Structure 1
Amino acid sequence: MSDAVEEVTRAQLRRGLRIATLLVAMAIVFGLGPANMLRHLDAYEPPLTQWAAFAALGAVLLGEAALLLRGRSWSRLRGPAIAVVLGASALSYVTLPDGRTSTTVDWIFGAANWVGVVVLLDRPPRSAALFLLAHELTALLNLLLLEDPTRGALARFATGSVTVIGFPLCVVVVAAILRGLSAAAMASRREIERVRVSEAVAAESHRRRQQRFAELSATTVPMLEGLADGSLRPEDPVVQRRCAIEAARMRRLFAETDTVANPLLHELRHCIDVADRKGVVVELDARGQWPVPPVVVRRDLTEAVLVVLATAASRARVTVVGSAELVSVSVVADCGDIDVPAPATPGVRVEALNNDDTVWMEAQWQPSRQRTS
């Protein structure tokens, strides 16, 4: 939203500068130009060429006004427009009286420069500088080749060139500075956004690490402390079973941050990997399609499988069946009697059956019921 506001502000600044420059050019061309021509009309041979040059400059200015109203720029017409301006300047000098270059009779000397700047305002400064140089050379060649260049005429030309080049060039420089400031502001904003994103990512990573430590501190940390102080013995089967369960929980915890298409199956495979390392043969069968359960729900669905697999002696089978209405995760293994883990999520239900050394355990979740609740 802020980027759009900034872009609108920059567009308004550029448009405002174009309008101001166009008004200055129109005041000079349509105001001072005809006044000077009418005052010295008898001096031109023939006067029609001056009116033709005036019409050419006026057409370019009217074209700029039309483009402004439509919110467009010169684009591909920029080159032909500059050619028209330079052609009008050359045409005016053809019928200019001798010794009148850069005088009030030479009305186009201080008019064509502004028209060219209007066309080149949104271009780099070198484009406008080259145009102004070409405009100056047109007048200078007329002075040197078609007139008798006296010292006074050359001094008058040099003095007039200061304003003919200087004022329009100042406008071009201001436009370039505005474009540079806009680009710098955009670059700064992007850098600020990048830093903010990096800080947010770092803060989120720190929060997740703290959350993981808090989740492990309830069961894993006490077990590690017991192994460290000797109160728990590694050769004890109960301790080994607890270690296997905590290892599976840690692998599941780390797998929760992975970006995968099916997080539930992804986390189940990490739980199965712990049983594989113990030599337990585990089969995994998945059928159907289901919505992605929240993290807390996935933990409840995988907790039963995790506990059974960590306790299984030699074989186990994990089955996942899902739809939009029900997700079921069940496991059968030769693990003997185990405690049924109580789900932390109200929408998850866990059932278990024991038959000698074989245990069947199932966790079910109904997505539709959670959405309606």
Structure 2
Amino acid sequence: MSFSKGELEYIIGREIKTFRAPTLPNALSHKTILITGAGGTIGSEICRQIARFEPKHLILFGHGENSIYEITKELSRCFAKQKITSVIGDVQHCEDIQRVFTKYDVDIVYHAAAHKHVPLMEQNPYVAFSNNVLGTKYLVDLAEDFAVEKFIMISTDKAVAPTSVMGATKKIAETIVANKNAESRTSFATVRFGNVLDSRGSVIPLFREQIKHGGPLTVTHPEMARFFMTIEEAANLVIEASLIVNGGEIFVLDMGAEVKIINIAKRLVTLIDDGNLPIIFSGIRPGEKLHEVLMEEAERAVKDTSLNLFIGKALTGNEHGIEYLIHQAKKYSGFELRAKLLELANTTSMLNEVL
């Protein structure tokens, strides 16, 4: 079941932001574009949106063969003239990425590959570190080595003052991107998401399943609230950022006020059922916050009203500490690695506040 624009606006309690696409030709035409995590919810939507701008070559990179197959098949049907190459690989394996950069002259990278599930990453800190930190480091280094023009990484508001493994790994990844931009001719920048409505593994599919089985719907806490954006808004934000990037920015969509998760649950029940299903509180899960923050004060975000964006300065940070952790991570227990990740991520933030 998919929701109409009006239903989505009802669920998140605000108007959906529109994307003013450039006329052709544009900054994406005649470019070779690499999208990591191309089979995921966001990666596949980025593929759909970019294909409209007639790039020279789309390279779809992902480790899930079925999801890559599906988005390749869809794009080939809808954009018959578009040159598409599908690559099965893993950002955790440097050699997989290097083969792509060696074989193809990549102009723009959209880095959408990430582990994002907060409770699961609490239980699997090395997997989160390997995918979100090491994968980003490999991509960033190779993008510079092969003189890529632009590199846009997708991050999350959970990276701001992180309390979870997932948030900490994304904060460290943001810092890797910012550090590289400071010393590179490639333009590196980060796009920071709120919660993406109806994305794979998010709360909407969970609520749908619970409604299908007659309830109850489970909400962790009555005050739990998040900033929400639609899948289309998320992909559009990434593309918008790549069109205006100079390097060293953090881009965040103006998502209005945060929305309580319990209100999302109630609105979904109204749309799908008769509004009478019970809602129970299951308790805050490990790593979760009651509220998220979109930007750090030190990022000095400025709102661009015409683009519905906040644009801040990405913060560089503890490069030595990051390199040390990369070399030592395998030696730590899961408990120790979690502590090291949170310490490094939050120390990086504090360093920038001092600077």
TM-score category, normalised to shorter length: under 0.3
Q: Which has the larger radius of gyration?
A: 1
- Larger proportion of helix: 1
Alignment TM-score, normalising by the size of structure 1: 0.20
Alignment TM-score, normalising by the size of structure 2: 0.21
- Larger proportion of strand: 2
